Amino acid sequence: MIIIPAVDIKNGQCVRLAQGDFDRVTVYADQPADMARLWAQKGAQRIHLVDLDGSVAGLPKNGPVILEIARSVTVPVEVGGGIRTMETIDYYLENGVASVILGTAAIQDEDFVKAAARRHAGKIILGIDALGGRVAVRGWTEHTAQNAGELARRYENCGIQAIVYTDIQRDGMETGVNVEQTRALAKSVSIPVIASGGVASLADIDALLAVRDCSFFGVIVGRALYTGAIALEDAIAKTRQIPSQQEEKR
């Protein structure tokens, strides 16, 4: 399991939202690229970028900032927010972004997502953001009746790289990661799962690592890194103390 620092971008700044609420925003840096470089220097193996403005608008709004980050760090970056056309996917992947995250598109246009996974094998990530197990879209401003697990299973065996599963109620709140729901999703699909939302302390990293009947590809950490509740180096060290499930099976 790898630790993935989050850099959320709104109006060109690095911010964090509380429970996805655009009215509850905290600005942490005027230059998101500086934060991304800092996390990379501290040992991050991947950076998670979100174009918050784009997630609502339905098209990239912070593209130049995102490409600056992709070109200035030596680790892969994954990008979500406003990616709903093949042209946008091509734009990012042809300009230094390693993987793109499709969330709203995943529930609205299954054929498009599967076509993207065929065109860019291993570079498409499914973003499933849920509140009470039900999927939310358009930057979490719209809630649906779609069950998160059922949505994930629709994309089995079509070349999806991973699923980012975010618990909206916990995101940005530092109330603890939802281990049980994330575990339930990971057990229900063969697609690797990345946990997201609510990571508050190293105890959350321990809790994910302690799950023995499935494994997680990674965990996204946001606010806890920015407030200093978690030191990235300490979190990374935790993941190296316990062999992964895959290593144990070898």
What pLDDT is stored for residue 141 in this prediction?
Answer: 52
Contacts of residue 178, Cβ cutoff 8 Å, sequence gap at least 6: 167, 170, 197, 198
State residue 162's pLDDT score. 98
Longest distance between any two alpha carbons in the chain, whole Å: 48
Looking at residue 250, what is its pLDDT?
34
Global pTM?
0.89
Task: Answer whether residue 245 shows pLDDT above 60.
Answer: no
Which of 27-31, 45-49, 55-59, 110-114 bottoms out in mean pLDDT, i.e. has the lowest? 55-59
Instruction: Give pLDDT, residue 120.
Output: 97
pLDDT band, very low/low/confident/very high, at 108 (cuts 50, 70, 90): confident
Q: What is the Cα–Cα distance from 39 to 108, expressed in whole angstroms?
A: 34
Binned at pLDDT 50, 70 and 90, residue 249 comes out as: very low
**79 near 66, Cβ under 8 Å?**
yes
249 vs 219, higher pLDDT: 219
Q: What confidence score (pLDDT) does residue 106 get?
A: 85
Which residues have a catalytic role annotated? Answer: 8, 129
Tokens of 158: 């079509």
20 pLDDT tier (thresholds 50, 70, 90): low
pLDDT of 124-183, one tens digit each? Answer: 999 998 876 667 665 455 566 678 888 999 999 999 999 999 886 554 456 688 899 899
Domains in the chain, ordered, with CATH? 2-249 (3.20.20.70)
Average confidence (pLDDT) over 38-66:
95
Q: What is the mean pLDDT of residues 39-43?
A: 98
